[in-house]
Chains A and B, each alone.
Chain A
Amino acid sequence: MFDKIQKAQAAIQQTCDQLGHHVRIMEVCGTHTVAIFRSGIKSILPKGLRLISGPGCPVCVTDQGYIDLVLQLADRDDTLIATYGDMIRVPGGNGSLETRQSRGNVRVVLSTDDALNLAVENPAKTVVFVAVGFETTTPATAVAVKGAAARGLDNFTILSNHKLVIPAMTALLSDPQTQIDGFLCPGHVSVILGYGAYRPVVEQFARPCVVAGFEPVQILEGLAEICRQVADKRAQVANVYCAVVTEQGNATARQIVDECFEPADGYWRGLGSIPGSTLKLRATLRHYDAFERFGITETPAEDLTGCRCGQVLCGRIEPPQCPLFAGRCTPDTPVGACMVSSEGTCAAWFKYGDRR
């Protein structure tokens, strides 16, 4: 593997030297952000390559308004909140799911099947599954909702905040302030979507979109391909994660999602409202929709804390430029989602970067 790493590094270096100006690449996926730091790639890339972390951490882009709704539901006596571990520590206006764990009605699950089982085992409570995640994760929720419907499991509901990656990429590129030369596209989202899904982005905005996996070799080869295209003034879709990503993606998964969900406008922390970017349960399944069941709507929360997660998420600033970074806002005492999420850009900087 090591020779592959060196080859990719050399290709990147050559492009940066050749171009004479910064190449700015956005990695859309939070898992890529962490992998880049954790594997040490960040420290061996040439200075000419600027990596910008994008809004690809589903926890980070979840608006505080949604979190406050979850906390509101957790404070009831008739609910069981089922959530992936990622959401437990995210702060709302008043504490988090973690601070409510002693109440006994907050349960960490590893799969939506576990959430369904909770509903089966606790008929007197209404289970609310905190449905957060991008295209990789949404199919699991869809299967669960279908399962609940098939079994008539009335006490199972989901509070959907599932989001779509491509509308976010499009929104970013439509903003004249955005300066991105290419995208490193999320490996596992692309398993579901297929790399063909990025063609409209490439065609509309003429920026290379390259899909890569998460090991260092993958990431470096993906970055090298983007650099090559930038140097050649090309813009194409490419895929280096050939072991699991195909052009068509997983049509079965997309179909199951389509049966259950429809796109709606949604609010993203840092990006504001993006049309057609969030998934909402179809009317036929409203029985399992926690928004309907509890008569609640999400209203974007105005962030008064001074948190600048929004600007970090768009790549406008780097975490150290946020006045709260590593001061008031640390992984132990997070103010914003970018610090509390295991994939948050601020968390990655704090955890792996030299802050001296």
Chain B
Amino acid sequence: MCLAIPARIVELEGDNAVVDAMGNRFRARTTLLPDIQLGDLVLVHAGFAISQVDEEEAKKTWELIEQIDAFRDTANRLSG
């Protein structure tokens, strides 16, 4: 009952973040994850980060996480 996508925190001020999902930048609140940091990979649902994603664990069974890695390693197309 829940669409949630993994995204990386690329900006963080208080509990207001900007997360990046394969080149899409969404605003997200980190209110529910008080210990989260810039650069962490999180799961985002309805505008809120609800969990940190354990990347090593994720790579074992989450194809999308592998793609996220591959996306990051290709030539950076983002202009910011």
Chain B residues with CB under 8 Å of chain A are 1-4, 27, 29, 31-34, 43, 45-48, 50-55, 57-58, 61-65
A–B complex contacts, Cβ < 8 Å, 16 sampled: A113-B47, A137-B1, A137-B46, A139-B32, A139-B50, A140-B29, A188-B1, A188-B45, A189-B2, A191-B4, A213-B61, A215-B63, A243-B53, A252-B33, A256-B32, A343-B1
| Shortest Cβ distance from residue B25 to the other chain A in the assembled complex, whole angstroms | 14
Contact A136 B45, beta carbon cutoff 8 Å: yes
| Shortest Cβ distance from residue A80 to the other chain B in the assembled complex, whole angstroms | 18
- Bound state CA distance, A265 and B33, in angstroms? 30
- Bound state CA distance, A189 and B3, in angstroms? 11
Q: Tell me, yes or no, whether A44 is within 8 Å of chain B by CB.
A: no
**Range, interface on chain A:** 35 or more
Whether A186 touches B51, Cβ cut-off 8 Å, given contacts A240-B61, A252-B33, is: no
- Bound state CA distance, A122 and B24, in angstroms? 29
Chain A window 12-33, contacts with chain B (Cβ cutoff 8 Å), 1 for yes, 0 for no: 0000000000000000011100
Q: Which 8 pairs across A and B sit closest by C-beta, in order of nearness?
A: A111-B47, A243-B58, A188-B2, A136-B2, A253-B32, A244-B51, A243-B57, A191-B51
Contact A137 B2, beta carbon cutoff 8 Å: yes
Most buried by A among B31, B52, B57: B31
Whether A29 touches B2, Cβ cut-off 8 Å, given contacts A139-B48, A143-B32, is: yes
Contact B54 A252, beta carbon cutoff 8 Å: no
Contact A217 B50, beta carbon cutoff 8 Å: no
Q: Which residues of A contact B63 (CB under 8 A)?
A: 1, 215, 217
Q: Tell me, yes or no, whether A242 is within 8 Å of chain B by CB.
A: yes
Contact B1 A111, beta carbon cutoff 8 Å: no
Q: Which residues of A contact B65 (CB under 8 A)?
A: 243
Contact of B48 among A31, A140, A217 (CB under 8 A): A140
- Bound state CA distance, A191 and B1, in angstroms? 12
Contact B1 A58, beta carbon cutoff 8 Å: yes
Q: Tell me, yes or no, whether A100 is within 8 Å of chain B by CB.
A: no
Contact B2 A252, beta carbon cutoff 8 Å: no
Q: Which residue of B lies closest to A141 (CB)?
A: B46
Q: Which residues of B contact A218 (CB under 8 A)?
A: 61-62
